Amino acid sequence: MINILQTIKWPDVIAGALVAAIVSTIGFGLRLLIQFRLARRSILRYGQGTWYSAEYDTKGNVPRDRRVTYLKVSMTPTLLGRVKVRSLEQLNPEDKAVETGWIAEGRIQNGVLIGEWRTTVKGTDRFGSAMLRFLDNGRAVGYWIGVRGGLAEAHA
């Protein structure tokens, strides 16, 4: 066994391992760059900048005139080639009975963002799946499916 270890050309093994590590790091970095550029291109195609969201919640004991939430949202690419849609500000907090805020992240394929969402409201653990279809004239429609829970609901 010792004879076999002595016959190995260790400088060549170390050099080969270093070359493999460098090539794989460069390859991984190029893959991330390509994915980021594809996500960025999707955002440029379907709507860059600030968006506005109108959400209607049909559930709960909320009066009908307080069921619509208006949000300012933004879309950004992620390093992993996904698109992140984040609610920035609730525009009608005085008219809304329940605080709303979320982050949706996924991939855009054929004009449809398919991914997951999670809440940004402290003290809650809402999450689920999201589908957002981009239409013409800077419009989009979508569905949010998921679990609604948190401290307030758990004690009610």
Domain presence at residue 17: no
Mean pLDDT estimate for the chain: 81
Q: Is the Cα torsion angle 14, 19, 24, 25 positive or negative in sign?
A: positive
Q: Tell me how far apart the alpha carbons of residues 105 and 130 are, in angstroms, rounded to a whole number.
A: 8
Total number of domains in the chain:
1
Please name which of 84, 149, 139 lies closest in space to residue 115, comparing C-alpha atoms: 84
Whole-structure pTM value: 0.69
- Judge whether 29 and 17 are in contact, CB under 8 Å: no
User: pLDDT for 2-13, tens place per residue?
Assistant: 677 778 888 888
Q: Is the pLDDT of residue 148 over 70?
A: no
**Maximum separation of any 2 CA atoms in the chain, in Å:** 84
Residue 19 placed within a domain: no
H helix runs in 8-117, sequence order: 10-46
Q: Which domain covers residue 131, as residue numbers?
A: 44-155
pLDDT digits (tens, 9 = 90+) for 56-113: 777 667 777 777 888 898 888 887 888 888 999 888 877 766 778 899 999 888 888 8
Instruction: Report the distance separating Cα 84 and Cα 14, nearest Å.
Output: 41
Q: Is residue 20 assigned to a domain?
A: no
Let me know if residue 2 belongs to a domain. no
| Structural domain contains residue 31 | no
Residue 123 domain-assigned (yes or no): yes
pLDDT of amino acid 139? 78
Neighbours of 42 (CB within 10 A): 22
The answer to whether residue 137 sits within a structural domain is yes
